[in-house]
Amino acid sequence: MREAMARAEVGDEQSGSDPTTNALCARVADLLGMEAGVFMPSGTMCNLAAILVQTRAGDEIIVDDQSHIYNTEAAGAAAIGGVSVRALPTRNGLYTPEQAEAAIRAPQRTAPRSALISVEQTTSFSGGSIWDLAAMRRIRDIARARGLKAHIDGARLLNAVAATGIPARTYAEGFDSAWIDLSKGLGCPVGAVLCGSHDFVTEAWRWKYRLGGAMRQSGVLAAAGLYALDHHIDQLAEDNANAGRLGAALAGTPGLAFEPEAGQSNILSFSVAGLGVPAAAFADACLAQGVRVRALGSEQIRATTHLDVDRAGIARAAAVIRAEAERIAAERG
Ligand SMILES: *Cc1c(COP(=O)(O)O)cnc(C)c1O
C-alpha cells in the first residue's frame, strides 16, 4: 500500500484534476451503484455532509440510539446543521420499519420536519449486527413515501457484503446517499468515499470545501484506497470469521455474557457485568497483557478484528481475555 501511495499519479483535487482521486471516486460509486462519489477525509465528514446536504436547520433526522451519528460525532448535525436527532431505541442498533414509520412526523406547523433517516450497516457500537436487506428496503421505501431522504452509514458495509454475499450496490439501491470507510477494515491510513446522485455529490462537495475537507494531491491517499479495494476485500471475510472464532473460543467464560447474534461481522461485543468490574478496568487488564479491546459504557467490551490480527493473534487474544476473566472471577469469588 505504501508503495502504491508513493507511485500515485496526482493532480489538484480541489479543481477535480487529481486522476487517482477521481478513479477512486468512480470505483466506489460503481461499487455502490451510485452516479458519483466524493473523497472525504473521514467517515464522520461523510455523515455530516450527507446530513447537511439533505436537511435544513430545524429539521429532524432519524437514527438508531447506538449509532455513530448520535453518539460520537460531537453532535455535528446539531452544531453545524442546526438539525435535531431522533434516536430510536434499539437493543443492537437495528430498528424496525414500524419504528421508523412511527417516528416520521406528520407535517405540522409546530413540529420539526422529518428529513432524513439513516441505517448503519453494519452496526458499530452495538456489536456489528447486520441489517437484513428486506428491512433496509422497507425503511427506504417508507422514507421515500413520506418524503424523507434515506442514508446508509456504510463504514463497515463491505463487512456485511463479505458476510452475506449480497453486493454493496444491492444494499445501496434506491438510497439517496451511502459511503464506505477506507480506514476501517480496508486498512487505509485516511479516507472515506461518499456517494449519491450527481446533484447530491455537487452539494456534498460544497460542504466538503466549506468544512475544510478539500485537498490538493490527495491521490497519494486515494491510491491507498484503490490498493485496498484490489487487495484487502478478501480480508474482510477473514476478519468476520476471526470475530466468530473469538466468540467461539470465549464461549462459556465465567462472567462474560454474549448476545445471541454476537460476532456476525468483524465485531464481537460482550458484557462483563457478571465479573463485577467496570468494563474500563477489564479493558485495561487485557491491554496490560497486550490485547486491546474497547470499553463501551460501564459493562460492554467491544473487540474488533482487522487485517493486523491473524488467526494466531485471535487465539492469543481469546486466551488473554479468558485468563483475565477467570482471574477476576477467582479474586472476587
Ligand atoms: C468509524 C465509523 C464512522 C466514522 O468514520 P471515521 O472515518 O472514523 O470518521 C461512522 N460510522 C460508523 C458506523 C463507524 O464505525
Q: Are the C-beta atoms of residues 38 and 194 closer than 8 Å to each other?
A: yes
3-state SS assignment for residue 199: helix
Q: Which residues pair with 192 in a beta bridge?
A: 40, 181
Q: Is 129 in the pocket of ligand 1 (CB under 6 A)?
A: no
Please give the domain boundaries of the chain with CATH numbers for all domains. Answer: 1-230 (3.40.640.10), 232-332 (3.90.1150.10)
Percentage of the chain exceeding pLDDT 90 = 95
* Residue closest to 188 by CA, chosen among 248, 231, 157, 134: 231
**Mean pLDDT computed over every residue of the chain:** 96
Please tell me the predicted confidence (pLDDT) of residue 112: 98
Q: Is 238 in the pocket of ligand 1 (CB under 6 A)?
A: no
Please tell me the predicted confidence (pLDDT) of residue 126: 81
pLDDT in tens, 147-168: 999 999 999 999 999 999 999 9
What average pLDDT does range 284-293 have in this prediction?
A: 97
Q: Is 192 in the pocket of ligand 1 (CB under 6 A)?
A: yes
Q: Which of 45, 184, 296 to mutate to test the pocket of ligand 1 (most atoms within 8 A of CB)?
A: 184
**Residue whose CA lies nearest to ligand 1 atom number 14:** 155
Separation CA 333–CA 330 (nearest Å): 5
pLDDT in tens, 267-285: 999 999 999 999 999 999 9
Listed in order, strand segments (DSSP E) in the chain are: 36-40, 59-64, 84-88, 113-120, 149-154, 177-181, 192-196, 257-258, 267-271, 294-296, 300-304
End-to-end CA distance of the chain: 49
Look-up: residue for cell 481475555? 321
The rounded Å distance from CA 70 to ligand 1 centre is 12
Position 127 pLDDT exceeds 90 = no
Q: Is 92 in the pocket of ligand 1 (CB under 6 A)?
A: no
The rounded Å distance from CA 288 to ligand 1 centre is 27
Q: Which of 40, 94, 124 to mutate to test the pocket of ligand 1 (most atoms within 8 A of CB)?
A: 124
Long-range contacts of 276-285 (CB under 8 A, 24+ apart): 276/328, 276/332, 277/328, 277/332, 282/324, 282/325, 282/328, 285/324, 285/327, 285/328
Percentage of the chain exceeding pLDDT 70 = 100
Separation CA 324–CA 333 (nearest Å): 14
The rounded Å distance from CA 201 to ligand 1 centre is 19
Residues 6+ apart with CB under 8 A from 30: 169
